[in-house]
Amino acid sequence: MKKINTSAYMPTEIEVKNLSENKILIEAYPFQSGFGITLAHPLRRLLLNSTVGFAPTAIKIDGVAHEFDSMRGMLEDVALFIINLKSIRFKIKSGLEKVVLHYSFNGPKEIKGSDLSNDDVEVVTPEAYLATISEDAEISFSIIVEKGIGYVPSEIIRDLIESDYIALDAFFTPVKKAIYEIENILVEDNPNYEKVVFTVETDGLISPVEAFKNSLESMYSQMSVFNGILDIDIASSSDSSVNTQVELSKLLQTVEEMNLSARSFNCLERAEIRFAGELALMSELELKNLKNLGKKSLEEIKLAMEEMGYPVGFEFSSETIEVLNKKIADLKSEANEG
């Protein structure tokens, strides 16, 4: 029987299936049409960008000057050695956010991930291959392993380490795969309700269920900024000072907190754009004209701003624009002084 809804349909069913040790399938349903992707897309972004993991961020090899060097007695050159190292997944045991590990091996030996486990770290990929050294060879190296989220390019890490270390691109996220599908499902006589099917796979640092829970907690935490609006008297909600306060809470986050790709972030940094509010105040044409900003980066930034609720070129009141510009100027001034 057809009817006019007075509230969004509340999904009631959820199923979790183990596909393998570190891979699960999550099905949730039934969602009202359009609500499935509304929830699934930000959850996927949070799975990939907010799940805490560990990664090697720098390496120092005795007798090696740079990543394009080679080493006598080692089958691989240094560049391939580094690529292999990135496939080895570490987990710091002590609860610290950073450890420095020291290793020394004599040949002949095939070095694997299991050889790097010690009192400070557990290696959850013990069979991962690192290098092969010949009978008369010896290799000594130090690795910095850190805790973090998302992806951090070597250009940023280079400024944070000692000069004798080689900076590495750091892939912190333990989530290897996070994909979703939206399927139609029949509710009563309506075939347009939706089922969200998530496939989540991790590298073993944490379970996929734990990763999914973490993404939910991150979503709730991010959305809590809007809790204040529940206390606003509807009769006085037209007060511009209340509206300004609600808007500024999101717009004063830094572009670094927006989880953009390294290419997009670096372009904005070179243009000295540091806050989301600066992007919201720009027109799309102004954004397009930023030097070295490509089409993919433009679309990524536009999508991130739309998800925030303030698309590029958002129309603010004149009072809000004045307050926002002043706040941003003050924050930039404080940062420069610091």
102-106 contact pairs (CB < 8 A, 24+): 102/140, 102/141, 102/142, 103/139, 103/140, 103/141, 103/142, 103/143, 104/138, 104/139, 104/140, 105/133, 105/138, 105/139, 105/140, 106/133, 106/137, 106/138
pLDDT of residue 226: 75
Helix locations, 19-77, DSSP H: 35-49
In the DSSP assignment, the letter for residue 160 is T
Q: Which residue has the higher pLDDT, 162 or 319?
A: 162
Domain 232-338 belongs to what architecture?
Orthogonal Bundle (1.10)
pLDDT at res. 327: 85
SS3 label, residue 55: strand
The model's pLDDT over 260-311, given as tens digits with 9 standing for 90+, comes to 888 888 899 888 899 888 998 888 888 888 888 888 889 889 988 888 888 8
Taken as a whole, the chain contains a residue count of: 338
**How sure is the predictor about 247, in pLDDT bands with cuts at 50, 70 and 90?**
low
**Where does the chain hold its CATH 3.30.1360.10 domain(s)?**
8-51+173-224
Instruction: Kindly state the average pLDDT of the residues 312-329.
Output: 81
For residue 230, the model assigns a pLDDT of: 56
The predicted pLDDT at position 95 comes to: 83
Looking at residue 235, its pLDDT comes to 41
Q: Tell me the C-alpha distance between 135 and 120, whole Å.
A: 29
The CATH code that applies to domain 53-169 is 2.170.120.12
Q: Bigger pLDDT: 3 or 112?
A: 112
Confidence band, pLDDT 50/70/90 cuts, at residue 30? very high
The C-alpha atoms of residue 108 and residue 138 are separated, in whole angstroms, by: 9
Residues of the chain with CATH 2.170.120.12: 53-169
What's the confidence (pLDDT) of residue 234?
41
Higher pLDDT, 163 or 167: 167
Compute CA 159 distance to the chain's CA centroid, rounded to the nearest angstrom: 20
pLDDT above 50 (res 338) = yes
Distance CA 205, CA 52 (A): 9
Highest mean pLDDT among 172-176, 251-255, 293-297: 172-176
Q: Region 181-200: what's the mean pLDDT? A: 92
In this prediction the pTM is 0.62
Q: Which ranges in the chain are annotated with CATH 1.10.150.20?
A: 232-338
- For the stretch 211-239, pLDDT in tens is 999 999 888 888 877 766 655 444 444 44
The pLDDT assigned to 330 comes to 82
3-state secondary structure of 255: helix
Residue 77 has pLDDT above 90, yes or no: yes
pLDDT, tens only, 93-104: 988 899 999 999
pLDDT tens-digit profile of 103-155? 999 989 999 999 999 999 999 999 999 999 999 899 999 999 999 998 899 99
First to last CA, the chain: 65
Instruction: Quote the pLDDT of residue 107.
Output: 83
Q: Which CATH number fits domain 8-51+173-224: 3.40.120.10, 3.40.1350.10, 3.40.50.300, 3.30.1360.10?
A: 3.30.1360.10
Is the pLDDT at 183 greater than 90? The verdict is yes
Q: Note the pLDDT of residue 244.
A: 45
pLDDT one-digit tens code per residue, 50-76: 899 999 999 999 999 888 988 889 999
Average pLDDT over residues 168-176: 93
Residue 1 pLDDT > 60, yes or no?
no
